[in-house]
Structures are given as structure tokens and as C-alpha cells.
Amino acid sequence: MTDQPLLPPVQKFVDTVRSLCDEGREDETLWPEVAEPLRDLLADPELQAHTKNWPDTKQGDGAPGNLLFYEDPDYGFVLNALVKAPHSTTNIHDHGQSWTLYGVLEGGEHIERYVRTDGGAPGDEPATIEKEGDFDVTPGYIDVVPPWQIHQEKNGDDRTIGFIVRSQRSGTFVQYRFDPSTGDVASYNGPRQIPFELA
């Protein structure tokens, strides 16, 4: 997905992220700064119009998929979309070692964040997790998710599209799902990646 043409506003965004990566910044400063150009991209009419042909990649409590638009050949970051049909719920999960910018492009959802209180490493079990907050998000909102942050998303009556920037492609690292009722921790490779042209 590196040699496919991109919509002009998306190509502009990619060029901006590459320029920031060129500066050699630490992840802790790089990815939060990417949120500002991402905010401009989410508001772009050309990108918004393109979403009309995007298929749902998650339905109900089924396994998620991600549309894969772009993977950078030098820095490894990717552009994805998670397209949730109405009334879809994710597992309680983390994004492993990656940084993730989750921008709401359409619809809205409820996000719950959790924290481990047992002092264990990410994959250790049993895990004791507790909810530390929850909030509703609408189009234009960007959630900057650092490595290992545990969370869950649920949407309501409308289709929801999350336009996602990841520091590396899902499937190249381990992620975890959590069951707070049993303490079980399950490893998985993240959402199925579905190549999709964004041009």
C-alpha cells in the first residue's frame, strides 16, 4: 500500500507526517503533534465524500477489520479506518506497543478507559483492571492512544468511522484483550488488514 495514489489531502497529510518523522522526534512528542494535521484532514470534504463507498469492517461484537490505505516505506506508520455498523462493541483491549491516533470521521461512540491495578506487565494474567473514565466522542474528535492503554468502544444507532494513524501496522506486534470478570488476558494480532484504495 505504498505505491498506490492517494487523495490530495491525504497525500498532504502523509507528507506532513513524514516531515515530522524526518526530524527524529521521540514518539511521546511526535504522535501528539500529528493530531493537529489529522484534525484538518478529518474536516476535508474530499475525504468525507470518499467514505460513502467504505464497507463496514466491524458488526456487532464480531471480530474487527481495518481498511488499510497506506503503509509508509521508511517510517512504518499506517493509515487505517475502522468502519463500525450500528450497535457495535469492541473487546476491552490495548494497541500493544504502537501509538494510535483515532480520529472520528463520521458518527460517534462511547469510549471507556481502563487501568491495570495489579502491577502486572501487559500480557501477565490474571489481570485486575478497573475503569478509570469514560466519555462520548463526535466527528472531529481525536483520541491519542499511547502504547498499552486499555480501552473499549461502543457505538449507537449510527455507523461510525474512525480514521486511524498507527505508528506501525497491526499484525506486526502483539496486542491483548482483557476480561475483567475472570482476569483472563488473550493475545492477538489486532484487526484484520483489508487493503483499500484511497484515491
Which structural domains are found in the chain, ordered by start? 8-195 (2.60.120.10)
How far apart CA 173 and CA 18 sit, in angstroms, is 22
Distance, in Å, from the CA atom of 102 to the CA atom of 56, rounded to the nearest integer, reads 17
Mean pLDDT of the chain: 95
Tell me the three cell numbers of residue 195. Answer: 487493503
- State the pLDDT at residue 141: 96
Per-residue pLDDT, 132: 95
Q: What is the pTM of this model?
A: 0.94
Split at pLDDT 50, 70, 90, the class of 1 is low
Q: Is 131 strand, coil or helix? A: strand
pLDDT digits (tens, 9 = 90+) for 131-149: 999 999 999 999 999 999 9
Q: What is the pLDDT of residue 80?
A: 98
The residue-averaged pLDDT of 118-140 equals 95
pLDDT level of residue 62 (50, 70, 90 thresholds): confident
Question: β-pairing, 184-188 with 175-179?
Answer: antiparallel
- C-alpha cell belonging to residue 139: 466527528
Q: Edge-to-edge strands of the sheet including 175-179?
A: 129-137, 109-116, 150-155, 92-93, 175-179, 184-188
Q: Which amino acid is at 193?
A: Q
CB 198 within 8 A of CB 70: yes
At 4 the pLDDT is 77
User: What would the pLDDT profile of 12-53 be if each residue is shown by its tens digit?
Assistant: 999 999 999 999 999 999 999 999 999 999 999 999 999 999
Provide the pLDDT for residue 2: 63
Give residues with Cβ within 8 angstroms of 139, minimum separation 6: 42, 104, 105, 106, 107, 108
- Largest distance between two CA atoms of the chain: 48
pLDDT, residue 171, reads: 93
pLDDT digits (tens, 9 = 90+) for 77-113: 999 999 999 999 999 999 999 999 999 999 999 999 9
Cβ within 8 Å of residue 40, ≥6 positions away = 13
What torsion do the CA atoms of 130, 29, 14, 189 make, to the nearest 10 degrees?
A: -30
75: pLDDT strictly greater than 90: yes
Q: Which amino acid makes up residue 57? A: T
Share of the chain above pLDDT 70, in %: 98
- Per-residue cell: 183: 482476569
Helix axis angle, 8-22 to 27-42, nearest 10°: 160
